[in-house]
Chain A
Amino acid sequence: MPFYLFWLFTTVMLIGGVSVIAFRNPVSSALSVVTCFVGLAGLFIGLSAFFVGVIQILVYTGAVMVLFLFIIMLLDLKDEEHRTNKIAPIATGLVLIGIFLIQLFSVIADTPNAESPPLDQATLSAAADSYPQDSKIATELKEGHLPDVHLIGHTLFTQYNLHLQILGVLLLVATIGVVSLSKRQTE
């Protein structure tokens, strides 16, 4: 990724993130989260993770945040706009930021500072040998393309198959739970 694109998307993301808490109006805050997510998606795409970047926009920006906005608009916003800053929440927030920073730095300190190999023809065709001959992934890798969608699918359905099934059941339970709870309330 060219460095100026990295700085562009990082700036977009940081401006979005800061304005989430700076704005008084919840709708503005929600839109700032959207800006932040778009910047994040740009960073993913810059790292050649096209699928993750697009899914970031499709799921978080296009669906989750729209639902957030939908709910916020149906609420009465008068109280939110006149709230005052109390010390306790701010202090808790600062402590949380501190904990996250410590976690981040410890992870970075543990990671070996090795340069990742460039995604050129040689690296990709060397990686092709670990996949079945004549499969889509192997042929794409030999041609020097990165079939990221196929790779993610392959990893999900072989290495993490059980996790995927369990997650599916969990989501189904959550969905049914929400439906049954909301039905009980209306009766």
Chain B
Amino acid sequence: MDFVPILVIILKIVVLTFVIVLPLVPLSVYFERRFSAIIQDRVGPNRVGIPLTLFGAKKDFHLFGLVQPVADGLKLFLKEDFTPAHVRKAFYWLAPALTLIPSLVTVCVIPFGSTLSINGEPFKLVIADLDIGPLFVFSIASLSVYGITLAGWSSNSKFPFIGGVRSTAQMISYEIALGLSIIPVLLYFGDLNLSNIVQYQADHGWLLLPFWDNDATHTLGSKLLFWFPAAIAFLIFTVSIFAETNRMPFDLPECETELVGGYHTEYSSMKFAMFFMGEYAAMVIGSSLIVTLFLGGWSMGFGLDKYISEFHFGSFYFGGLIHLAVFLFKVVSFILFFILVRWTVPRFRYDQLMKLGWVVFFEAALINVFLAALILAAPHLQGVIITIGAVLLFVLTLAVIWVAKASEEKPKLLRA
């Protein structure tokens, strides 16, 4: 039995999951605190650094407060791990793990960079190069709802339970919009392998910036026409990811003003920290998925990728590492966007949230599927059929808007 491939896989898992993705979690907590401080005109945590005064130096080296997340983690480890007497023990212990583990499992299909080549042997910077990438991410990420639901139920107290129920309803509702919104994207690429999707974007332009191409067979016109369904898909997908990760403005499951702390009210110490990490890990994975599908993944863009892949140092082709850096830069930028939204957009009301998911996004994503299909099929169809399709699509859109308006006219109170 050959042990080298197994060693390579273990090395990939350790490096990509525990050296790259996990440190992004405390880092995004730090970014969150500093960024919110900037927005609210405060200073934020900028002191915790290397305490040189302990060793007799004149001044501490503050390092912009970057050691703050380490101090936070240490504090959470040292806190008392208290289990209230009224909880259902087994589920209470299971729930935090069920929130964190799915987020970390989904790391395995994300392509972090292009191929590294050492002595002519290629190493793809992805743990499992599955042919069903986005579906795998959705299916595993949908398991994390169990953690939140069970946490709410097993706490055996009112507010956590309401938080858990809210979260379940919210995640199921937005999963539909999430799944429907990427159908146009998958139609465009014709592939479910995330590595191939990124390679295609590196060669033919990112989905949202289709302005360059390595071969001239694809005309700019058809790609620019597809930009519209792609942009609608991007909008729906991004907002749905916000809802799936329970982030502001959709953080109704842990809405402090109504529910104390939400589903994790009864949790303390590292069990609480695992929910916290789960939320941030989901945010990191969500950002990487958005970057991979819509913004070119690891590709530098502007036709530069084939030159980057040529860089080598003897027989060591290190272009993949540059691509890894590009990917991390994009992901961190998107995380900053997540944080910006959290501190600028106020929280939705629960009925508004449900309405946005079921009445607006569900229909918009469905119509977007037809629009994308029409645009993609147009070069192979006759003019008359395209016109009929366009008219039908227009009528369908009007009908959906009319139904949505009509259902709004007589608001009835629902009695249980």
Bound pair (A, B): yes
Secondary structure class of chain A's binding surface, majority of residues:
helix
- Interface pair A62/B175, CB less than 8 Å apart: yes
Complex Cα spacing A138 to B388, Å: 32
B149 and A61: CB pair below 8 A?
no
Per the bound structure, the CA–CA distance linking A63 and B142 in Å amounts to 8
Minimum CB distance partner of A51 in chain B: B132
Contact of A66 among B136, B168, B412 (CB under 8 A): B168
Cβ–Cβ < 8 Å partners of B150 in chain A: 27, 31
Out of B135, B146, B153, B192, name the residue touching A55 (CB < 8 Å): B135
| Interface residue SS majority, chain B | helix
Are A61 and B143 in contact (CB-based, < 8 A)? yes
B142 closest partner in A (C-beta): A62
Contact B169 A70 (CB under 8 A): yes
Distance (whole angstroms) from the CB of B288 to the closest CB of chain A = 19
- Is residue A145 within 8 Å, beta carbon to beta carbon, of the partner chain? yes
Nearest B residue (CB) for A149: B192
Q: How far is the CA of A58 from the CA of B140 in the complex (A)?
A: 7
Annotate A126-153 by CB proximity to B: 1 below 8 A, 0 otherwise. 0000000000100000000101110000
Complex alpha-carbon distance, A58 and B143, angstroms: 8
Of B140, B143, B169, the most chain A CB neighbours within 10 A belong to: B143
A67 within 8 A of B: yes
Query: Is there contact, CB below 8 Å, between A54 and B136?
Result: yes
- Minimum CB distance partner of A74 in chain B: B165
Report which residue of A50, A55, A62, A186 has the largest number of chain B beta carbons within 10 angstroms of its beta carbon: A62
Residues 255-296 of B, flagged 1 when their CB comes within 8 A of A and 0 if not, give 000000000000000000000000000000000000000000
In whole angstroms, how far apart are the Cα atoms of A136 and B190 in the complex?
Answer: 8
- Interface check A69, CB cutoff 8 A: yes
* In the complex, chain B residues whose CB is within 8 Å of the CB of A136: 190-191
* Distance in angstroms between the alpha carbons of A54 and B161 in the assembled complex: 29
Per-residue contact bits, chain A 47-69, to B (CB 8 Å; 1 contact, 0 not):
00011001101100111001101
Q: Are A186 and B139 in contact (CB under 8 A)?
A: no
Within the complex, what minimum Cβ distance (angstroms) separates A156 from chain B?
A: 15
**Chain B residue, CB-CB nearest to A58:** B139
Contact with A along B88-117 (1 / 0, CB 8 A): 000100000000000000000000000000
CB distance from A74 to the nearest CB of B (A): 7
Q: Using a CB-CB cutoff of 8 Å, which residues 144-187 of chain A contact chain B?
A: 145, 147-149, 186
Q: Does A73 reach chain B (CB closer than 8 Å)?
A: yes
Interface status of A13 (Cβ within 8 A of chain B) = no
- Tell me if A58 and B131 are in contact (CB < 8 A): no
A124 at the interface (CB under 8 A from B): no
Interface residues of B in 117-148 (CB under 8 A from A): 130-132, 135-136, 138-140, 142-143, 145-146
Known: A27-B153, A186-B412. A63 touches B132 (CB 8 A): no
- Given A57-B140, A57-B143, A62-B142 in contact, is the A186-B165 Cβ separation under 8 Å? no
B57 within 8 A of A: no
User: A149 to B168, alpha carbons, bound, how many Å?
Assistant: 29
Number of interface residues of B (CB under 8 A): 30
Chain B residue at smallest Cβ distance from A150: B190
Q: Determine whether B7 belongs to the interface, using a CB cutoff of 8 Å to chain A.
A: no
In the complex, chain B residues 146-190 whose Cβ is within 8 Å of any chain A Cβ: 146, 149-150, 153, 161, 164-165, 168-169, 171-172, 175, 190
| Interface residue A40 (Cβ < 8 Å from any Cβ of B) | no
Residue of A nearest to B153 (CB): A73
B193 CB to closest chain A CB (Å) equals 9
A34–B149 Cα distance when bound, in Å, is 14
Q: In the complex, what residue of chain A is closest to B161 when comparing beta carbons? A: A73
Known A-B contacts A54-B139, A70-B165, A136-B190; A63 and B175 likewise in contact (beta carbons under 8 Å):
yes
Write out the residue numbers on chain A whose beta carbons fall within 8 Å of the beta carbon of B191. 136
Q: Are A27 and B132 in contact (CB under 8 A)?
A: no
Beta-carbon contact of A148 and B131 below 8 Å? yes
Q: Name the A residues within 8 Å of B142 (CB-CB).
A: 57-58, 61-63, 66
Q: How far is the CB of B318 from chain A (nearest CB, A)?
A: 28
Residues in B with CB closer than 8 Å to A66 are 142, 145-146, 149, 168, 171-172
Whether the pair B130, A50 counts as a contact (CB closer than 8 A) is yes
Given A57-B139, A58-B138: A149 and B190 interface contact (C-beta under 8 Å): no
Say whether B414 contacts A186, CB under 8 Å. yes
Contact residue among A50, A58, A73 (Cβ-Cβ distance under 8 Å from B149) = A73
Q: Kindly identify, within residues 60 to 109 of chain A, every residue whose CB is under 8 Å from any CB belonging to chain B.
A: 61-63, 66-67, 69-70, 73-74
* Most chain B beta carbons < 10 A, residue from A27, A67, A145: A27
For this complex, 29 residue pairs linking A to B, each with C-beta atoms less than 8 Å apart, are A27-B91, A31-B146, A31-B150, A34-B146, A50-B131, A57-B140, A57-B143, A58-B135, A58-B142, A62-B138, A62-B139, A62-B175, A63-B142, A66-B149, A66-B168, A66-B171, A66-B172, A69-B168, A70-B165, A73-B149, A73-B153, A73-B165, A74-B165, A136-B190, A148-B131, A149-B131, A149-B132, A186-B412, A186-B414
Complex A-B, nearest 5 residue pairs according to Cβ-Cβ distance, in ascending order: A62-B142, A58-B139, A57-B139, A54-B135, A54-B139
A interface residues (Cβ-Cβ under 8 A, vs B): 27, 31, 34, 50-51, 54-55, 57-58, 61-63, 66-67, 69-70, 73-74, 136, 145, 147-149, 186
Contacts A61-B139, A149-B192 given; 4 further ones with Cβ under 8 A?
A54-B132, A54-B135, A63-B175, A186-B412
